[in-house]
Amino acid sequence: MFRKLLEMFGAHLAMDLGTANTLLYTPQKGVVLNEPSVVALDAEKGTVLAVGREAKEFLGRTPKTIRAVRPMRDGVIADFEVTKELISFFIRKVIMGFSLARPNIVICVPTGITQVEMRAVIEAAQLAGASRVRLIEEPMAAAIGANLPIHKPLGNLVIDIGGGTTEVALISLSAVAHAESLRVAGDAMDSAVKRYFQSELQLYIGDNMAERVKIAVGSAYPLPEQLIVEVAGKDVVTGTPRTVKVTDGHIREALTEPVRAILLTLHKTLEKLPPELAADVGENGLLLAGGGALLKGLDTLIHKSTGISVLVDDDPLTTVVRGTGRTLSDLKLYNSVFIN
């Protein structure tokens, strides 16, 4: 009876605790939350004023009495106390009867995570109200979310580009055979866009604006038609508001460095693959997931650079959390994919 009660309250959760966004998934409803990993705090008292989408709007706009914090950096916890508040808020938001049902949670983490960082994630989730916490590596979760045959003796290559990290991993027989974790991803792209505007266009822009520009006209490979967007910011010389027009070509130039770093990591991974698994990748292609998969032309650039066909998941923003959630349907079947 009590077990059925827990199931009714949705006491099983999957969480993609990302640098840029946090997603929650329940077996009953699928993806139930997708919000920025941002917390707004009272600068003096340290109390939480806003979390998620509302808090993100505070970035770059707060008075001295308010701090807008992103507690995750490079896919791991940078501010333990604030991360605990973030997790607790989101769990309460999606689970009715939270005080009665302490949820079992599966959380995805980067492949390069240290033991100390793992303990921080587990402890933060437990203090936020979780009962049992399991961890799964992000590329493994992405492969499960995209229905790749992870249990078979075949090489499945995954590139997961999130907010803080890019994970390149080869998966075979329910295990990560080889992985490279690069702390260059969506955030690094936004920073590259900001630097470009400052150095080339003499314009200061904020984090949110840089992200919007990247999404609107950013690309990794020349597009069939030119895209143009107006961008508002502050003139570097005069300090006055100014608006400029930029094209996809400008932003492609701005993104050259982070995109090159991702390609180099992919080539590094390919060089280390055993011949049999490399042949599998050549035949079956690779999976591109995460928010970075939405960068226009990135799949084309990867194909041109490697000769490997690229599959972009239908909803790359949720691939990882869907895969994490799928493990909840059969914990025994997926027991070998958990790393704790």
Tell me if 2-140+320-337 shares its fold with 153-184+260-316.
yes
Are the CB atoms for 89 and 103 separated by under 8 Å? no
Task: Give, for all 340 residues of the chain, the pLDDT tens digit.
Answer: 444 444 444 478 999 999 999 999 998 899 999 999 999 998 888 888 999 999 888 877 777 888 888 998 887 888 988 998 898 889 888 875 444 567 889 999 988 788 998 999 999 888 888 889 999 999 999 999 999 999 999 999 999 999 999 999 999 999 999 999 999 999 999 999 999 999 999 999 999 999 999 999 999 999 999 999 999 999 999 999 999 999 999 999 999 999 999 999 999 999 999 999 999 999 999 999 999 999 999 999 999 999 999 999 999 999 999 999 999 988 899 999 999 8
What is the CATH code of the structural domain delimited by 2-140+320-337? 3.30.420.40
Structurally, what CATH architecture does the domain formed by 186-256 represent?
A: Alpha-Beta Complex (3.90)
What is the CATH code of the structural domain delimited by 153-184+260-316? 3.30.420.40
Domain boundaries, the chain: 2-140+320-337, 153-184+260-316, 186-256
C-alpha span between 63 and 61 (Å, rounded): 7
Task: State which H helix or E strand residue 242 sits in.
Answer: strand 241-247
- Structure tokens of 21? 């966004």
C-alpha span between 14 and 332 (Å, rounded): 16
pTM: 0.89
